Structure 1
Amino acid sequence: MRITLCAIVFSFCGTAIALASQIRIKDLVEFDGVRGNDLIGYGLVVGLNGTGDGLRNAPFTEEIMSNILERLGVNVAGEQFRPKNVAAVLVTASLPPFARAGGQIDVTVSAIGDADSLLGGTLVMTPLNAADGQIYAVAQGTIIAGGAAAKGDAATVTQGVPTSGTIPSGARVEREIAFELDSLDSLRLALREPDFTTAGRIEAVINGSFGRAVAIMLDSGTVRLDIGRTRMTSPAHALARIENLLVEPERKARVVVDQRSGTIVMGQDVSISRIAVSQGNLTLRVQEAPIAVQPNPFAEGETMIVPRTNVDIEEEPGIGLAEVPPGTTLAEVVAGLNALGVAPRDMIDILKSIKAAGALHAEFVVR
């Protein structure tokens, strides 16, 4: 099986390296307490064109439909429903930080029964609960599904996922998260990629901006900001001042390999020590070509199948035993491997072997 290799290499020269690697603090950290909250709800989608749940296979759909009708004053006790235009769904959303009552958020709707498609359906008013069990939003609206489905008597064609869709601005916030940013005396900055060097640089940049020690590195993933020492009007003003400060993050040397797609991504700090590499492929082909042997006309006998096997061994020319020079940059690593004439399908196996030999100085991640 051949593996298609896609190598993505980014290189910068001269002063462009320093400029391009400067990242805003807001893109490197999460501010403690300033985060979203997940919401979930169980609801009903109506108006489907015969693609809803089969109520015999999804009895919970009939139950929620009965509850909704009874809340609307329709007595359905003892009745049996067999509609095909309704489907039970789970509704999920993320309540953003500082969302206020009356605001609108996007929701995702996913079928949980045996519905074939949610195209054209309308979500009926669905309360959305947080982890504490409280209702924070209510969702309702027309679903936009990203797939299509066609079904006949003998064949079915499905493109995308028609059993899942979204409702832009489909939920209205009814309750606010109890979080008072103004009451904080200090605020922690949590690095998305913990690193002592990066945390130290963030501390230095913030202190340099204020001209005094207002930030301190607590560990590789946390920098604490003293709001009082910033002498700003409020914590929000302090965050607005520091979030756009530029910092050069320090990244780990890492090689990421996706064996399914054959993709290799290497960081610019990957290096390889001096090592010798030998690589080649041996292909064995066995083909069966049986021959039918028949007796002469009007002669006694019967038709026989005579087996015939063709065996072929093919050895592709390898790279022999070649030396990979020590590389100190990504460009040298790539140039050294390409100089060997390695086929794309063999690059992943070679990198694994180099890592096993202890010559690849980087974190090796296989997905």
Structure 2
Amino acid sequence: MNKKNGKWFRQAAMLAALALPMGMQPAFAERIKDLASIQGVRNNQLIGYGIIVGLDNTGDQTTQTPFTTQAMGNMLSQMGVNLAPEQATKLQLKNVAAVMVTAVLPPFAKPGQPIDVTVSSIGNAKSLRGGTLLMSQLKGADGQVYAVAQGNVLVGGVGASSGGSKVTVNHLSAGRIPGGATVERAVSTPLGQGGFVYFELAGSDFSTAQKVVDAINKSMGPGTAQALDGRRVAVRAPDDPDARVSFLGRIENLDIKPEIGMAKVVVNPRTGSVVMNQKVTLDACAVAHGSLSVVVGEQQPGGGADVQVKQDAGSLMNIKAGANLADVVKALNALGANPLDLLAILQAMKAAGALRADLEII
């Protein structure tokens, strides 16, 4: 190969390398494990009552929280320290706090496995920093004990007070104990019934369910999966436990491109937040709210529409854009519309039938 040909090949290779990223489009695919869960594989909530000791005079004011002294009296009696009832009620234990202990029991958890717990004060303790949780039973919804918690509490906040002044950073009345509970009872987690495993989509959507079925049948063979409805997909799985685990692992990592659900606008009046998906559109309408007026014109042949926003000062803004909600929200924000105005306008548009979306208020 001569130098001229070699130079040409090098230039062609450089052009191909530069063009490759430009030609690659993002796949926007998601794994099945991100869209669906296996029926029966779930977490279980645990709760218990506990006592934290070792606080630096930041515990419960026991005259106002009698359950703290009652719990301490019961615990001491179990350890051979017997107090008269009138003595137990007069205890002043500033280094003790009553807490609720919560934890999540993950699926397939076995006895001896550690899990994290969260402790939250139920009295008037000023801080749980530096405390130690005494042995506490964690029960499930059926009243059975599934874990036992104990350990040093980790509090992310800090506080100080002097001369009537007080400074607090973060929250001091709740904390965590990493690995602070030990599982004592396992929960049976069956993987399917009668040779089938059922995948449940996070949201009901017939198009996405069909895409999941197509992806599984294409990878694992025809007839492996079938959609039962818009949320559940039945998958024929091997009977051998080891083969079934490997089979489900391959299915969970299959990529599909899910369909975007119905057009939806989610608004939160408490925070003034508005979130929408790309399916949201508007029909031709005119809206006046307070000092603002909004006019959305008919759809133009080229695909655009006129969106006009007017304020009482006489300023007029013309926007050439598609008749979608994002452009209207952008125009309102440009004029300084507050979140409450925006929420009221959206509700009025929905009531008038101009907002082509499901309006959900949380």
Amino acid in structure 2 at the alignment position of 1:66 = G
Shift of 1:103: 0.9
Task: Tell me whether 1:131 sits opposite 2:141 in the alignment.
Answer: yes
Amino acid in structure 1 at the alignment position of 2:361 = V
Shift of 1:274: 2.5
Q: Is the 1:190–1:222 contact (alpha carbons within 8 Å) kept by the matching residues of 2?
A: yes
Q: Is the 1:147–1:162 contact (alpha carbons within 8 Å) kept by the matching residues of 2?
A: yes
* CA spacing shift, 1:218–1:356, aligned 2, 3 Å: same
Amino acid in structure 1 at the alignment position of 2:111 = A
Inter-partner Cα distance in structure 2 for 1:318 and 1:257: 29
Give the match's secondary structure for 2:250: helix
2:336 is matched with 343
Deviates more, 1:153-162 or 1:109-118: 153-162
The correspondence of residues 1-367 of structure 1 with structure 2, limited to 5 A, is 16=25, 19-20=27-28, 22-78=29-85, 79-80=87-88, 81-152=91-162, 154-181=164-191, 185-228=195-238, 234-250=243-259, 251-278=261-288, 281=291, 316-317=312-313, 327=323, 333-335=325-327, 338=330, 342-345=335-338, 346-367=341-362
Inter-partner Cα distance in structure 1 for 2:52 and 2:248: 42
Amino acid in structure 1 at the alignment position of 2:41 = V
Taking structure 2 as the reference length, the TM-score comes to 0.78
Inter-partner Cα distance in structure 2 for 1:53 and 1:169: 26
Deviates more, 1:180-189 or 1:113-122: 180-189
Q: Unpaired segments of 5 or more residues in structure 1? A: 1-12, 283-314
* CA spacing shift, 1:269–1:355, aligned 2, 3 Å: same
Amino acid in structure 2 at the alignment position of 1:246 = D
Shift of 1:193: 1.2
Inter-partner Cα distance in structure 2 for 1:322 and 1:356: 25
Q: Which has the higher helix share?
A: 2
Inter-partner Cα distance in structure 2 for 1:325 and 1:217: 40
Q: Is the 1:274–1:324 contact (alpha carbons within 8 Å) kept by the matching residues of 2?
A: no
* CA spacing shift, 1:109–1:339, aligned 2, 3 Å: closer
Inter-partner Cα distance in structure 1 for 2:359 and 2:126: 42
Shift of 1:320: 6.0
Q: Unpaired segments of 5 or more residues in structure 2? A: 1-21, 293-310
* CA spacing shift, 1:46–1:194, aligned 2, 3 Å: same
Inter-partner Cα distance in structure 2 for 1:176 and 1:214: 31
Deviates more, 1:156-165 or 1:146-155: 146-155
* CA spacing shift, 1:115–1:275, aligned 2, 3 Å: same
Inter-partner Cα distance in structure 2 for 1:279 and 1:54: 53
Q: Is the 2:32–2:252 contact (alpha carbons within 8 Å) kept by the matching residues of 1?
A: yes
Shift of 1:123: 0.2
Shift of 1:187: 1.6
Taking structure 1 as the reference length, the TM-score comes to 0.77
Provide the identity percentage. Answer: 43
Deviations 1:293-343 (A, max 9, x none): xxxxxxxxxxxxxxxxxxxxxx8425669798653xxxx543455467543
* CA spacing shift, 1:184–1:115, aligned 2, 3 Å: farther
Shift of 1:278: 4.8
Amino acid in structure 1 at the alignment position of 2:52 = V
* CA spacing shift, 1:15–1:352, aligned 2, 3 Å: farther
Give the match's secondary structure for 2:228: strand
Q: Is the 2:205–2:230 contact (alpha carbons within 8 Å) kept by the matching residues of 1?
A: yes
Q: Is the 1:52–1:118 contact (alpha carbons within 8 Å) kept by the matching residues of 2?
A: yes
* CA spacing shift, 1:183–1:256, aligned 2, 3 Å: closer
1:4 is matched with none
Shift of 1:56: 1.7
* CA spacing shift, 1:357–1:324, aligned 2, 3 Å: farther
Inter-partner Cα distance in structure 2 for 1:150 and 1:109: 21
What is the RMSD computed on CA atoms of the aligned residues? 2.9
Q: Is the 2:198–2:234 contact (alpha carbons within 8 Å) kept by the matching residues of 1?
A: yes
Give the match's secondary structure for 1:73: coil
Shift of 1:190: 1.3
* CA spacing shift, 1:323–1:227, aligned 2, 3 Å: same
Deviations 1:149-170 (A, max 9, x none): 3344534443322111110111
Q: Is the 2:191–2:197 contact (alpha carbons within 8 Å) kept by the matching residues of 1?
A: no
Shift of 1:281: 2.0
Q: Is the 1:206–1:245 contact (alpha carbons within 8 Å) kept by the matching residues of 2?
A: yes
1:293 is matched with none
Inter-partner Cα distance in structure 1 for 2:273 and 2:135: 45
